[in-house]
Amino acid sequence: MSRLGKQPVQIPAHVEVVCADGIIKVTGPKGELTRTLSDEIIVAITDGVATVSMAKDTKTARALWGTYAAHLRNMIEGVTNGFKKILEIEGVGYKADAQGTKIKLMVGFSHPVELLAPKGVEVTNEKNVITISGTDKEAVGQFAADIRGVKKPEPYKGKGIRYRGEYIIRKQGKKGVS
């Protein structure tokens, strides 16, 4: 039994949640998000509270029950407050340049790496800090992981792209012969 699935999801006053034809739609002040529901999950909305339940008690339905409850909570959080990921670039000559929905990374390769942000995700940068924000938690997190994946921080000098607050365990390196 899912602990997350059992708990009802509170819907704030300024957010509208509609579930029809296997699609759940959440509208709020920051935008609108939609997600297709599995046939094994039922979402009931009454008096500002959404409850997620299983259509049939199967192994797949039990696996998806808490997942869809968490998706619904994240969608409500996204349209009210939004999500943000902050990345830091460390290294001599490493820099980023965000232009609209594109970001150009110069991180030690012979060429700049250009990435295109998905729909609904905004990218800004100041010096060596990249800020990724949007309403969809999944899209923001995946784009941040894509940017970090271009040049992961290396363990000897710590150069690369890392999340803010991420701790890189340093290695000692080679020792001189005595």
d(CA 67, CA 79): 19
Report the CATH number at residue 16.
3.90.930.12
Q: Are residues 113 and 53 in the same domain?
A: no
26 belongs to a structural domain? yes
Whether 66 is covered by a domain: the verdict is yes
Q: Do 51 and 14 share a domain, yes or no?
A: yes
Q: Are residues 53 and 111 in the same domain?
A: no
Gap between the Cα atoms of 168 and 158, Å rounded: 7
Instruction: Give pLDDT tens digits for 122-142.
Output: 999 998 999 999 999 999 999
Q: What is the DSSP letter of 168?
A: P
Give pLDDT tens digits for 51-65. 999 999 899 998 899
> Does any domain span residue 106?
yes
In a domain, 110, yes or no: yes
Helix and strand numbers (H, E) in the chain are 3, 13
Residue 139 structural domain: 83-163
pLDDT for position 175: 80
